[in-house]
Amino acid sequence: MPATSYDIIVVGSGSAGLAAAISAAEHGACTLIIEKNAMLGGTTAWSVGSITTSASPHQRAIDIYDTPDDHYADMALFHGERLKGRDNLKLRRLLVDHTPATFDWLLSLGLVFYGPMPEPPHSQPRMHNILPNSQMLIHHLTKRARKLGVEIRTSAPMEKLVVETNRVTGIVVTGEHLTAEKAVILAAGDFSANPALKQRYMPPEVARIGPFNEDSTGDWYAPVTELGGRVLNGDVALGPEIRFRPPTKSTLVRKLPPWLWLARVVRWSIDNMPPRLLRPFVMGFLTTALMPSLDLYRYGALLINRNGERFSDETDAPSDHMPAQPDGEAFVVMDGELASTFRAWPNFISTAPGIAYAYLDDYRRNRPDIFFKADTLAGLANKTGMDAAKLEKSVADYNSKDAKGDRHPCATPPFIALGPVCSFIMTTDGGLAVNEHLQVLGDNDFPIAGLYAAGSTGQGGLLLEGHGHHLGWGFTSGRLAGRHAASAGNNDSDLFDY
Ligand SMILES: Cc1cc2nc3c(=O)[nH]c(=O)nc-3n(C[C@H](O)[C@H](O)[C@H](O)COP(=O)(O)OP(=O)(O)OC[C@H]3O[C@@H](n4cnc5c(N)ncnc54)[C@H](O)[C@@H]3O)c2cc1C
């Protein structure tokens, strides 16, 4: 019979949940992870796997002197007018101060990263990408958790929190009551797949856009708000973003065994083989739903729906209009002259797992399912299934009206279409209010005894703009939550009854 009583119960098995469980077990706690899916990993398993940190061994190896203080300052440069003044500065500090140790910890598990890669406005190259893909994170963290004795139950959704004398003492999972002697750690992802919560917190044009991960249903919301918890920055999201659909066929990388030596071979090859030979291989890793760079639209790429119509200004939140298009889809269309500028840094088509940036030729070679090229617009329409006359008219209208200033006309053959693309909310950034120990805050900002949150669930008003900060927060907040929860006792001064 499986046990029904644990020190710590962790809800969710993505970056935050796995890190929290490992950390709790490393601090001596008898720990259970429950995951509502049959598979572990959540959104983390779909991520590109970039982690942005200062003070990494990778930076030191190429004489980059980088500090958490500089990272802290640079994060604000991503915010723009809309988000100015809305960050949780205490959690930003926690993130930048602790991510270097988190990154070292991931390396200590044998995981292999490539980097650091630049990402302006970061003042230093800080992005480190897992090799060969994010499945490695899930596989090796799960292995570590099992080795430490963490029990893992899948197809086990949390239904309720159990509260006794103002303290969270357990959860109910498919009707079964499980006791958590020390704490429950909520690491159950975001609420991008919860239409009611999106309508409640987000502008209507964003709320109607679908999630990337249908399982991100924010199940934690009702039980925690009943206890006085609240969501901060509920209107903020990673997205809506226009992304290519992920490949439909199982790609080479999904079939690769998660062997660490293989990751080391990939890393060695990147460092030592001529890029000309290596690139086609590494680019076989274009496996997830990648986002075409916004520079494409700024410089003149068009978004054209399946009817051949241009439906919005590509530089002004076009993702909001995507759900109204046939099949909710469109193609990114450009001419040969513009396309030729997206063949080398700094003009990339998208970030990419492993080697960080993918260019037009990478897509031509490795994603033939979404790459179309023709000498005429009518030929392009034929290949993509658009209406040729409408496409020609849409492009002619654009060339006569909008192709001014920095935007390039769409006039020089060959013509290229990439897609289809559609709009996704990748993750919502509204998370439960937490303190620096990741305790969930209830009425009057007193911690709810016995309850912690990490990752997207415990994002606490922290802004994670740019690449690599969400996973940085997921792993870092998970580790800290696990440690604090495991170290807390009933008489621990960190715990207040509310
Ligand atoms: C395509 C894509 C690429 C991305 N790439 C990057 C990247 O390269 N770098 C980066 O920093 N960020 C990236 N992100 C964002 C990042 O992946 C997420 O922010 C991060 O993975 C969230 O981790 P988490 O542990 O909080 O949640 P998740 O990884 O979503 O884990 C939550 C888990 O909780 C489970 N769960 C939910 N409800 C319950 C319940 N009631 N009971 C039990 N279990 C439950 C879910 O099934 C899930 O397994 C990307 C996102 C997407 C969509």
> Which of 33, 44, 136 to mutate to test ligand 1, by most ligand atoms within 8 A of the CB atom?
44
What is the predicted pLDDT for the residue at 8?
98
Query: Which residues share a beta bridge with 8?
Result: 31, 183
Q: What is the pLDDT of residues 382-419, one digit of tens each?
A: 999 999 999 999 999 999 988 777 799 999 999 999 99
Q: Is the pLDDT of residue 372 over 80?
A: yes
As a whole number of angstroms, the distance between CA 167 and CA 163 comes to 5
Q: Is the pLDDT of residue 491 over 80?
A: no
Structure tokens at 492: 């621990």
Q: If DSSP codes are grouped into helix, strand and coil, which group holds residue 201? A: helix
Nearest CA to ligand 1 atom 2: 47
Phi then psi for residue 144, to 5 deg, are -65, -45
What is the predicted pLDDT for the residue at 496?
34
Instruction: Let me know if 292 is exposed, middle or buried by CB neighbors in 10 A (0-12, 13-18, 19+).
Output: buried
What is the predicted pLDDT for the residue at 251?
58
As a whole number of angstroms, the distance between CA 22 and CA 205 comes to 40
Residue 423: in which H helix or E strand, if any? Answer: strand 415-424
**Confidence class for position 275, pLDDT limits 50, 70, 90:** low
As a whole number of angstroms, the distance between CA 277 and CA 88 comes to 45
Which residues neighbour 347 within 8 Å (Cβ) at sequence distance 6 or greater?
Answer: 293, 295, 299, 341, 359
**Confidence class for position 311, pLDDT limits 50, 70, 90:** very high
Q: Is the pLDDT of residue 131 over 90?
A: no
Task: Say which residue, 429 or 404, is predicted with more confidence.
Answer: 429
| Average pLDDT across the chain, whole number | 91
Please work out whether the CB of residue 215 comes within 6 Å of at least one atom of ligand 1. Answer: yes
Please work out whether the CB of residue 212 comes within 6 Å of at least one atom of ligand 1. Answer: yes
Q: What is the pLDDT of residues 338-351, one digit of tens each?
A: 999 998 888 888 87
Please work out whether the CB of residue 441 comes within 6 Å of at least one atom of ligand 1. Answer: no
What is the predicted pLDDT for the residue at 495?
38
Rounded to an integer, the average pLDDT of 113-125 is 92
Q: Report the helix count and the strand count for the chain, using DSSP H and E.
A: 18, 22
> DSSP string covering 11-65, please?
E--SHHHHHHHHHHHHTT--EEEE-SSSSS-GGGGGS--EEE-SS-HHHHHTT--
Closest C-alpha among 453, 457, 458, 462 to residue 482? 453
As a whole number of angstroms, the distance between CA 84 and CA 327 comes to 36
Please work out whether the CB of residue 328 comes within 6 Å of at least one atom of ligand 1. Answer: no
As a whole number of angstroms, the distance between CA 11 and CA 18 comes to 10
15 CA distance to ligand 1 middle (Å):
7
Rounded to an integer, the average pLDDT of 237-256 is 74
What is the predicted pLDDT for the residue at 244?
87
Q: Going from the N-terminus, what domains does the chain have, and what CATH number goes with each?
A: 5-238+426-487 (3.50.50.60), 241-424 (3.90.700.10)
Percent of the chain with pLDDT over 70: 92
Q: Dihedral of CA 253/103/188/318: which sign?
A: negative
**Confidence class for position 57, pLDDT limits 50, 70, 90:** very high
Q: Are the beta carbons of 314 and 301 closer than 8 angstroms?
A: yes
As a whole number of angstroms, the distance between CA 358 and CA 353 comes to 9
What is the predicted pLDDT for the residue at 255?
62
pTM above 0.85, yes or no: yes
Angle between helices 260-272 and 275-282 (to 10 degrees): 150
What is the predicted pLDDT for the residue at 478?
98
CA dihedral 455, 457, 463, 466 (to 10 degrees): 50
Task: Say which residue, 489 or 268, is predicted with more confidence.
Answer: 268
> Which of 95, 427, 467 to mutate to test ligand 1, by most ligand atoms within 8 A of the CB atom?
427
For residue 454, give Cα distances in angstroms to 144, 246, 363, 486.
Answer: 19, 27, 36, 14
Q: Is the pLDDT of residue 31 over 90?
A: yes
Q: Which atom of ligand 1 is nearest to the CA of 288?
A: 1
Nearest CA to ligand 1 atom 47: 42
17 CA distance to ligand 1 middle (Å):
10
Q: Is the pLDDT of residue 24 over 90?
A: yes
Amino acid 426 reads M
Which residues neighbour 426 within 8 Å (Cβ) at sequence distance 6 or greater?
Answer: 43, 192, 212, 237, 238, 239, 241, 243
Q: Are the beta carbons of 126 and 52 closer than 8 angstroms?
A: yes
As a whole number of angstroms, the distance between CA 119 and CA 469 comes to 12
The least confident of 175-179, 217-221, 313-317, 348-352 is: 348-352
Please work out whether the CB of residue 471 comes within 6 Å of at least one atom of ligand 1. Answer: yes
Q: Which atom of ligand 1 is nearest to the CA of 468?
A: 11
Structure tokens at 299: 């410089």
Percent of the chain with pLDDT over 90: 72
What is the predicted pLDDT for the residue at 280?
62
Structure tokens at 355: 């080697």
Q: If DSSP codes are grouped into helix, strand and coil, which group holds residue 193? A: coil
Q: Are the beta carbons of 324 and 295 closer than 8 angstroms?
A: no
The least confident of 38-42, 80-84, 191-195 is: 80-84
What is the predicted pLDDT for the residue at 493?
40
**Confidence class for position 283, pLDDT limits 50, 70, 90:** low
As a whole number of angstroms, the distance between CA 429 and CA 425 comes to 10
Rounded to 5°, angle at Cα 201 from 199 and 203: 70
**Confidence class for position 492, pLDDT limits 50, 70, 90:** very low
As a whole number of angstroms, the distance between CA 224 and CA 453 comes to 10
239 CA distance to ligand 1 middle (Å):
14
Q: Is the pLDDT of residue 489 over 70?
A: no
Please work out whether the CB of residue 50 comes within 6 Å of at least one atom of ligand 1. Answer: yes
User: Distance from CA of residue 185 to its chain's centroid?
Assistant: 20
Q: If DSSP codes are grouped into helix, strand and coil, which group holds residue 214? A: coil
Rounded to an integer, the average pLDDT of 273-299 is 73
Q: Is the pLDDT of residue 313 over 50?
A: yes
**Confidence class for position 497, pLDDT limits 50, 70, 90:** very low
